[in-house]
Amino acid sequence: MRRVIFHLPDGSKVEKEVKEGQSVLDVLGEEGLKGGFVARAGGRLFDLFVPIPEDVSEIDILDFSDRDGKEVFWHSSAHVLAQAVKRLWPDAKLTVGPPIENGFFYDIDFGGRTLTPEDLQRIEEEAKKVIEADYPVKREEWPAEKAKEFFRERGEDYKVLLIEEFGEPVVSVYHQGEFTDLCRGPHIHRTGVIGAFKVTTVSSAYWKGDPNNPSLQRIYGVSFPTQEQLDEYLKMLEEAKKRDHRVLGRQLDLFNFYEEAGAGFVFWHPKGTAVRFAIEDYIKREHIKDGYTFVITPHVLSGKLWEISGHLNYYQKNMFVFEKDGQTYAVKPMNCPAHILIYKSKVHSYRDLPVRLAELGTVYRYELSGVLHGLMRVRGFTQDDAHIFAAPDQVEEEVRRVLALMKRILGRFGFKDFEVELSIWDPNRPEEYMGTPQMWKQAINSLKNALEAEGFSYEVEEGEAAFYGPKIDVKLKDALGRRWQCTTVQVDFNLPRRFNATYVGPDGKEHFVVMIHRAILGSIERFFGILIEHYAGDFPLWLAPVQARVIPIKDAFAEYARSVKERLEEAGFRVEIDDRNERLSYKIRDAETQKVPYILVVGKREVESGTVSVRRRKEGDLGAMKVEELIERMRREVDD
């Protein structure tokens, strides 16, 4: 008998005596869970219906408001979806069904069948029957051979392949009603916990993402504890459709993709380029103020460089590699090795550090066609990339500077709300990481201290660090509350050693420099897509591709309209003139559709008075203004 403290979803806690072999459900009962459906202790998640681990003295009971709880909820919902599919199509073969950012999916082999909207409706109705049945969920551990035989008999070939890939002597399976699935878990304790369930869409996918493998149907869904939450989510989805950057990109003539040029390569049209220049000019100024020096490095580099960095061994499938004159070359997938060469071009003393090198560097990565998605996933993109070469005792201050710069830059674009993750090593497996335990401890503490000093709360992700160092990932929230991964700060012990990048310390000896990889926006392309959706294409004045459009009422006033355009352009604004032979109402409506912030109408009265009639988008008619007065107003708005 031992005592365990349970932290409940409503913020309360209770201490209970726990006998050997008892589960959380045994101890608390259904009502004592306070709406929770999975347990967490010491960073580990486990089912409410399995024996409480012996080494646990405190347990968090999680509900849908917790990120881990939400993932378990959606993972369990994927099992419900699969159970519904197997009832309707018993010969369908299941692959994997993970939770994702907003819901879940399950990849299923239907033997060449393409699902219809009617099929999706049938799946949803059957899934609701599974939920209504309120099946208890049970977990079992089976010898791998028993599990393979079980799934082989049922024609679940992909499950057999997965068990063989695991290479583990024992695997776990979950049962609910007549349905059994291979899964590590954990899961909700009964299917009735799911209060609302929706099948959203279907797309094609390939097993393991390889086009040479069988084609699958990827069925997407989402679920919530209550119908009200689902209704709210569906409302958000409708709004997101209106804001789709791919649709608005065409409507506003910002960018495009061309089939004959190849998938995943962005063509920036003049208006999109104007916005991009505004973004780049701003972030360049901010970086220079913060002590960065800009560099430009080649797009194509020798394969020898990528051998040293390790990319040819570990990343080649994502690279564009080619042979020329008997030598291997690669289009760069990242800028890091090139920046190291610049750093190494001269000897550095500890007095020179930190060295901050920045580049708006365009890189190219081979992404499978199935994952390409507008500006959000492309094959060629420009990173607001920078690398900081620092001594170990400078890491904390440099990370603080990066976080402060991030707040300043993203705040200028209208983003104030962030979620932060700190990925650290698993100290129980030091052999899987580069660097000494002391180096890792110092680096992790530096990141933690920097986050806390800059006022960020954060989630620690143990075991999620790269082998070469810990990292910070920052997700911003847009106008619809969606999270987007943008800023990243990574500490790297690896590349400096691969390239022998050093500095001379106060002791006169050479020491390996610490390399900090960081990006604020991530990629210009993806960030532009986020901005389009955040603002629904209605950019603030400083970012608007066309900041003002001058409309003469008649041809007789076109010359005056052109003079207004020239004066605004001299003041630094992006201006168009619409002198088409169309009705005034049509031209105003077109400017509104194009989301032009300022519409300037000129006629006889404006010519005689030296003014313009001003309409501000979303504000309406502002009356007549002198051009100088308008310029001052627009400058104040840009600076605000």
SS3 at position 272: helix
Find where tokens 């603030």 sit. 540
Report CA-CA distances (Å) from 90 to 82, 110, 116, 509: 11, 10, 17, 69
- The single residue of 47, 384, 385, 492 carrying the catalytic annotation is 385
- The single residue of 471, 574, 595, 615 carrying the catalytic annotation is 471
- The single residue of 348, 356, 387, 400 carrying the catalytic annotation is 387
Q: Cβ-count burial of 202 within 10 angstroms (0-12 exposed, 13-18 middle, 19+ buried)?
A: buried
Query: How many Å apart are CA 151 and CA 166, to the nearest integer?
Result: 15
The two tokens of residue 135 are 């099946």
Query: How many Å apart are CA 306 and CA 308, to the nearest integer?
Result: 5
- 81 and 97 Cβ atoms separated by less than 8 Å: yes
- The single residue of 93, 243, 365, 526 carrying the catalytic annotation is 365
Query: How many Å apart are CA 240 and CA 451, to the nearest integer?
Result: 31
SS3 at position 471: strand
Return the sign of the alpha-carbon dihedral for residues 259, 262, 264, 269.
negative
| Terminal CA-CA length for the chain | 64
Catalytic-residue membership of 387 = yes
Catalytic-residue membership of 183 = no
Return the sign of the alpha-carbon dihedral for residues 232, 237, 238, 240.
positive
- The single residue of 517, 534, 549, 565 carrying the catalytic annotation is 517
Catalytic-residue membership of 383 = yes
SS3 at position 127: helix
Q: Own/partner pairs for 342-346, CB < 8 Å, 24+ apart?
A: 342/295, 342/297, 343/387, 343/389, 343/501, 343/513, 344/499, 344/500, 344/501
Query: How many Å apart are CA 279 and CA 263, to the nearest integer?
Result: 25
Catalytic-residue membership of 365 = yes
Query: How many Å apart are CA 490 and CA 597, to the nearest integer?
Result: 39
| Cβ-Cβ contacts under 8 Å for 94 (sequence gap 6 or more) | 82, 85, 86, 106, 108, 109, 156, 158, 159, 181
SS3 at position 455: coil
| Cβ-Cβ contacts under 8 Å for 87 (sequence gap 6 or more) | 126
State which H helix or E strand residue 546 sits in: none
- The single residue of 122, 181, 336, 547 carrying the catalytic annotation is 336
Query: How many Å apart are CA 273 and CA 277, to the nearest integer?
Result: 6
The dihedral over CA atoms of 499, 503, 504, 510, expressed in degrees to the nearest 10, equals -30
- 230 and 475 Cβ atoms separated by less than 8 Å: no
Q: Which residues are catalytic?
A: 336, 365, 383, 385, 387, 471, 517
